[in-house]
Structures are given as C-alpha cells and as structure tokens.
Amino acid sequence: MQRNGGGVGAGGQPWVLRRVRLTWLSFMLFFILVFFPLIAHYYLTTIDEAGGPDKRIFGPRPGGELCEAKHVQDLCRIRESVSEELLQLEAKRQELNGEIARLNLRIEACKAQH
C-alpha cells in the first residue's frame, strides 16, 4: 500500500508534474542567469559604438586629459586639506594627553596627602 496516495506528493500533485515544473524552473533560471547578461552586454556595446566617437556613452571622452588633470588637482587639494586636519587633530591629541598626565599627577598627589 502506498503512503502518498498512488503517486501523489505532499502538495497534492503527481511527482511527474513536480519534476516538470522543477525542470522548467531550472531552465528559466539558467536562461536568466546566463543569457540575459550576455544580451545586455551585447546591447550596451553596440549602443556605444553606434553613436560614433563623439557621442560615446561609456568609455573615455575626447578631451579627457583636461578633465583628468582637473580631477587630479582636486584630489591633491583634498589630500592637503585632510593632511592639515590630521596634523591639527594630532596636536590636539598630544595636548589632551599632556593634560591627562598632569591631572593624574594631581590625583596621585591628593591621594598621597590623605
């Protein structure tokens, strides 16, 4: 005697139907994960090449040297300001450490008096 009711699974469907659904789901998942990125890549590269060199969407644009030089200058300016701020923070940290050391000496002196 069969426990699952003559080939019917826990969901009330025959095992053949569940297997077909699982196979269909596997093929659809394979298609989405493999072919969709390939199609999207092809589409994006053909759009970029179809516009001509002056209308490129992806990749370097004409006159990029000037843009890159300005970008490098901005990055250097940011690096200098960050370095100055770090130096100020380090000076403040040393000042606070010195104050902590002085206060610890005062605490020890007060403990020694009492």
- Let me know if residue 65 belongs to a domain: yes
Residue bearing tokens 């009492």: 114
Q: Within 13 Å, how many C-alpha atoms sit on residue 110's CB side?
A: 6
Total domains in the chain come to 1
- CA–CA dist 65, 92 (Å, integer): 41
Model confidence pTM above 0.85: no
What per-residue confidence (pLDDT) applies to 46?
78
Assigned domain for 75 exists: yes
User: Does residue 2 belong to any structural domain of this protein?
Assistant: no
Q: Give the tokens for residue 77.
A: 């300016």
- The 10s digit of each residue's pLDDT in 64-86 is 556 677 888 888 999 999 999 99
